[in-house]
Every structure is written in structure tokens, then in C-alpha cells.
Amino acid sequence: MESNFNSSEDAPLTQQNEKRALDDVLSALKFGTFQIKMLILTCGAYFSACAEMMLIVYLSGPIKHEWKLNDMIFPVLPFCSGIVCLSGSYIAGIVSDKFGRQKSLLASLFIVSLCGGTSSLAPNFWIFVVLRSLTAFGTSGIETVDFVLILECLPREKRGTTMVVITLCGALGALSTAGFAWALLPRYGWRVFVGACAAPSCIILLYRLWCNYESPRYLYISGKKEEGKSLLVDIARQNGTKLPEGDILCPETQRRGRIQELFSPSLRLQTIFTALVWFLQSMGFWSVTMYLPEYMSSIDIDPYFNMFAVFIGEIPGLCLAMYLIEHRWFGRIRCLRMFSLASIICLVIFALINVTIVKTIFVILVYFFMVPIYSILNTYTPEVYPTDTRSIAMALMCMIVALPSVITAFIGATVLSTDITWLYPIVAAGFFSLQFLFTWGLKSETAGQDLHDTKTSREVINNTSVNDESILCNGGTHTTNDDSI
């Protein structure tokens, strides 16, 4: 049966027998208290994950000194963490799609809190590697589930901006790590520093025990219609709005969390190009970041203060992405291309001009443009995949993102061992150049569009939707075709 839906929040929703898309219902319920609670949870979780992930950048010097490691032993730490991230993302994605977003998030937060904190007490390097690898298992789970959980609770017109806000909180998490490194490492040593970086995950774990709302979209697609309806009533109560009357269109399916669905004919090219863009983003980011403090120190720039300034530079870049990402401006894909190209230009200038102040300015600009790419991809990826494969799609991308940390630790160590000072940033510029090329393989613009719940509904809606240019120019007109459950 085919139904057409008005996407405007102001459309009258009064007929009891009217069938409504879940996106239209969430838009009618608006952005309110419920979404703020969920935003605190997901922002806090991503803040803690990024704080833990960036910790490794500051440990190469102190850890090598503590346990007398040579330059080729320390990369075992990011190598093992990257390998473990692969399984962490995959398991979190399956658990999220089959058993619920919140169960996966709770387990991930618990692992990060426990292992992140105890790693500060490690008696030797190999115990430290084990504990940090388990911490990476948890952070990869947070990355996999966090954006999916909040996305499925949002009205359509707030998705882009809200998703960038979460990445902004991740940047603040990285900034907190830089601040801890600057304030604690020289005075109190790396153990206090590692313990301080674990504190945010402990705090947000306690908050998660109170804020345990499941995704309404997950509840409907998993057949828990009564729980889903009850949650929507609660959202309306908390937001001070009224739940529209009528049946909600959201097809139930038991075929959830199947990674092979991402390579079905309708999703194959989308998955390949999205994965390539993610992979090259991570290669470029970690090629710049992994040994940046050592690189800056080698050219006589204070590494800790510079890293602190670099991470502050991310914040205005994320604010710019927040402004541009919605459909009335660039949309997701055009925004991605612009930030990727700007990263290339800044890296080349950073590499070739040997003036300290110029290098300091342009390394900040590199992060201004480079980090918001993550926010765009974290918005675009869960939007472009249907609900029954959304978490496993994010899991696949997180697995792919983990691979470069295995590779770049050794690449960076090799490049830094040479006397060619411009080579370090040029290698990263090469990765971003390839990324820019592969963005032209992304064809499905998601700005202003409804989310899909199954692969079948995605195909039907894509066949009746307007093209990308119309979406961007006309503010996103929606025609939803689906079967009632």
C-alpha cells in the first residue's frame, strides 16, 4: 500500500485511521527534554571515547622512557589496540542491531571505565598493552552505537546539526586529553594522566544507568510495537507535545545485523565508496596525529602547548560544519568534499613553508578542516543505511577506521626516522587527495530525507525520491512508500 506524507511539523495530525511515517511522528514531537537527555548521554559517551583514544598520542615519549623501549616496540601498542578494535566494533554492531542500542552502549562504557582506569596501574609494558587494547575494544563499541542511538531519536530537521554537536563533544574530549597532558604529564607523570583521562567514562556510565531509553525506531523494527508506542507517549509527555493519532509505519524484520546485507546489489557501491572514504580519513588523520608531538618537538615547537592549540582549532571548524551540513546549504556530500580539499591544501602549505609561525598556524588549520570530516561521515553513514543494518554498517566503518592505526604507527615511525621534514605531512596529504577523489562515488544525499527502516523500503523510496540537486535546492520534499505493520 502506498501512502504520501507531509513532512512539515505544522501539518494537521488528527485522524485516528491515518498511517504515519515514524520520521513524521518524531518531527511532530519536536526536539525537547527527551532529546536533551539523550544528547547528554551520547555526547558524554563520545567525549569519554575520544579522550581515551587521543591518550596514546602523548604516551610515546613517557612510555618509552619508563620501560626503556626502542622506537619499533612502542608501535605494538597502537597495533594491538587497532586489531582489538576490529572485533569490538563488529560485536557492538551485532549486539546493537539484534538486542538493542542501549545494551551495547552500556557494555562498552563499562569496559572503558574499568580497563581505562586500571591501565594507569600497569606494572609493565605488556600488561599496559593488554589493558589499553581492552579499552580500545570499549571505545570502538561506543563509536559504533553512539551516533545510531541519537540519530533514531531525532526529528529529521535536527539530525545534521545534532550529529555535529556530538562530534564537537568528541573534539572537547580530545581537548581535555591535551589539557591533561599539558598540566599533568610534566608534573605528575603518565600514570596520573591516564587515570584522569578515564574519569569521564566513569561519570557517564553512572548517568547511563539512569538514562536508559531505547531507540523508538529499534523497538518498532524489532516487533516491540507496544514498547515503542509507550516510549513515544513518554517522549511527547517530556517534550510537552501530543503524540499524533494513527498507525505508525515501520516494518518489522528479524533479519537484523547481517553484515552481508551491506554488499547486496542495492547497497554494494554505497558501502564500497563509503568504506574507502572512511579508511582514507583515518589514514590521513592518524598519519598527522600519531607522532605530531614528536614531529613538532623536532622542529623546535613546544609539542604539548601546540597540541592543545591544535585541538582548540577543531572547535570553530566543527561549528562551520554544523552551519553548512544542512540541506539548505551544502548538504552532507558537498560539505565532505569541501573539507577534504581544504585539508589537502593546508597540509601541503604546512609541509613546504619552513617558518615556525606559519607551520603553527597551518597545523591548526589542518585540524580545523580535517576533524569535521568525521562529523560529516558520522552523520551521513547512519542516515544512508536502513535501520536493520544501521549499527552493523557503522560497525564496519569503525572496523575499517581501526585498520590505519595498525599501519600508521609504523609508517609514522619510519617517516620520522628520515631527515626529510616535509615528508611527514605530505604523506597525509596524499591520503586526503585519494579521499577527495572517492567522495565523487557517493551519490545518495541524505540531508532533509527520511530514514529508511529496511533495505526494501530504501529501494522503494529511492525510486520515488527527487535527485540530489533538488533535495539541496528545495529543502527536502519527502514521499514515503511503505507497508503498515
Under the banding of pLDDT at 50, 70 and 90, the label for residue 483 is: very low
pLDDT for the residue 41: 95
Under the banding of pLDDT at 50, 70 and 90, the label for residue 484 is: very low
pLDDT for the residue 149: 92
SS3 68: coil
| Residue 420: exposure state from Cβ atoms within 10 A (0-12, 13-18, ≥19) | exposed
Q: Which residue has the cell 557503522?
A: 394
CA torsion sign for 202, 205, 209, 210 is positive
245-254, 346-355, 377-386: which range is least confident on average? 245-254
Mean pLDDT of the chain, nearest integer: 82
Interior angle at CA 212, CA 206 and CA 214, nearest 5: 150
Domains, the chain, in order of start with CATH, read 19-474 (1.20.1250.20)
Q: Is the pLDDT of residue 460 over 90?
A: no
Average of per-residue pLDDT across 102-119: 94
- In the chain, what percentage of residues exceed pLDDT 90? 34
The residue that leads in pLDDT, 37 or 327, is 37
CA torsion sign for 30, 206, 398, 61 is positive
Under the banding of pLDDT at 50, 70 and 90, the label for residue 477 is: very low
Which among 305, 298, 324 has a CA at the least distance from the CA of 364?
A: 305
pLDDT for the residue 300: 66
Q: Is the pLDDT of residue 146 over 90?
A: yes
pLDDT in tens, 213-239: 999 988 988 888 889 889 999 999 999
Average of per-residue pLDDT across 311-317: 82
Q: Is the pLDDT of residue 254 over 90?
A: no
pLDDT for the residue 1: 39
Q: Is the pLDDT of residue 109 over 90?
A: yes
* 112 HSE (CA, 13 A, CB side): 37
CA torsion sign for 347, 446, 152, 400 is negative
Residues 301, 116: Cα–Cα separation, whole Å: 30
Let me know: does 391 contact 97? Beta carbons within 8 Å.
Answer: yes
Q: Is the pLDDT of residue 319 over 50?
A: yes
Interior angle at CA 443, CA 437 and CA 446, nearest 5: 120
The residue that leads in pLDDT, 163 or 277, is 277
Q: Is the pLDDT of residue 10 over 50?
A: no
The residue that leads in pLDDT, 420 or 450, is 450
Among 305-314, 326-335, 416-425, the range of highest mean pLDDT: 326-335
Q: Is the pLDDT of residue 467 over 90?
A: no
Under the banding of pLDDT at 50, 70 and 90, the label for residue 481 is: very low
pLDDT for the residue 275: 94
The residue that leads in pLDDT, 184 or 60, is 184
- In the chain, what percentage of residues exceed pLDDT 70? 82
Q: Which residue has the cell 574507502?
A: 276
Under the banding of pLDDT at 50, 70 and 90, the label for residue 434 is: very high
pLDDT in tens, 193-208: 999 999 999 999 999 9
Cell of residue 412, nine digits: 609514522
Residues 380, 321: Cα–Cα separation, whole Å: 13
Q: State the amino acid at position 236 in one-letter form.
A: A
How many other CB atoms are there within 10 angstroms of residue 201's CB atom? 30
Let me know: does 387 contact 258? Beta carbons within 8 Å.
Answer: no
Length of the chain: 485
| Residue 451: exposure state from Cβ atoms within 10 A (0-12, 13-18, ≥19) | buried
The residue that leads in pLDDT, 336 or 78, is 336
Angle between helices 60-67 and 190-210 (to 10 degrees): 120
Is the pTM above the cut of 0.85? no
Q: How far is CA 359 from the centre of its chain?
A: 28
